[in-house]
Structure 1
Amino acid sequence: MDKSGTAIGPCCLRATVRDLARFGLLVLRKGRSGQGKQVIPSAWFEIATKRMGEEDAIPNESLSQNAGCPLDYRYFWWLRRNRADFTAVGRDGQFVHIYPESDAVIVQISDWKAWTNANALECETFRAHDALEAAAR
């Protein structure tokens, strides 16, 4: 919201770590609440979080592509190539990372100050998340 209370669409969801974790669990459960109620159709998650073809690929020459850890993109989710996990990436180091095969959600809140060195930080973050997920198995 801006100062006048008008919702601003292109950026900046404001949520606590707990809220982001609950959101991640909702996604992990493919739209089911903690009480088991289907609140978002599960088919949407099948479409939104799985690579469907070359149309999801981000060209290597795109400024949005990270050569160190290439990603694809679909319905606001960043898809890791040849993997089942996927992530929402926010401004300056915010992540909601979903690992469906191990039933895990990782939420990261950071302040990278800017995206200046973020390509390297993003790859380092994925390695850290992967290590956390593996240790939790």
Structure 2
Amino acid sequence: MSATLRDMGRMGILMLANGVVFGEQIVPSAFIEDIRATPDYAGKPSQNMQPESGSPYYRSFWWGLGNDGKDIRAIGQRGQYLHVAPEAGVVIAAFSSWPSVHGDGRTHGVTERDELVAALIAKLRQP
């Protein structure tokens, strides 16, 4: 898929709005709800998702955190990243330019990015 950072942000907003754009259902809400629902097989960490809390899972090209906020992430090649936190009403999109598709085995700041995103969303979830 070829997309700009703005396109990724729009995709995140579409997911945040349960598939509704300008009052019209573009993506079936059942499809989005299915992506956000933690499946029975959740909880097995992978190279792309370590459990922060909850039971992470992968479904329909999205990584679910399996947390109470029903956060989901899209993680692409060379550091493309989209995080949707429905409970907090937050979408975070980021592009990177890793030297290879999977980063040459280096983290390229992935841990730091995940910590920053988690802290930001936690702050926005506070009453």
What range describes the TM-score normalised by the shorter chain of this pair?
A: 0.7 to 0.9
Q: What's 1:112 paired with?
A: 98
- Per the alignment, residue 3 of structure 1 pairs with none
The 2-side partners of 1:67 and 1:47 are apart by 20
Runs of 5+ in structure 1 lacking a partner? 1-12
Which residue of structure 2 aligns with residue 86 of structure 1? 72
% of aligned pairs identical? 33
**Number of matched residues?**
117
Are the aligned partners of 2:83 and 2:92 in contact in 1 as well (CA < 8 Å)? yes
- Distance in 2, Cα, partners of 1:37 & 1:104: 21
RMSD value over aligned CA atoms? 2.3
Unaligned runs of 5+ in 2: none
Counterpart selection for 1:37 from 7, 24, 27:
24
Distance 1:79 1:88 in 2: 9
Q: Give 4+ residue runs of structure 1 displaced > 6 Å after superposition.
A: none
Matches within 5 A, 1:15-94: 15-33=3-21, 35-54=22-41, 56-58=42-44, 65-66=46-47, 69-70=50-51, 71-83=56-68, 84-94=70-80
Q: Matched residue of 2:87: which SS?
A: helix
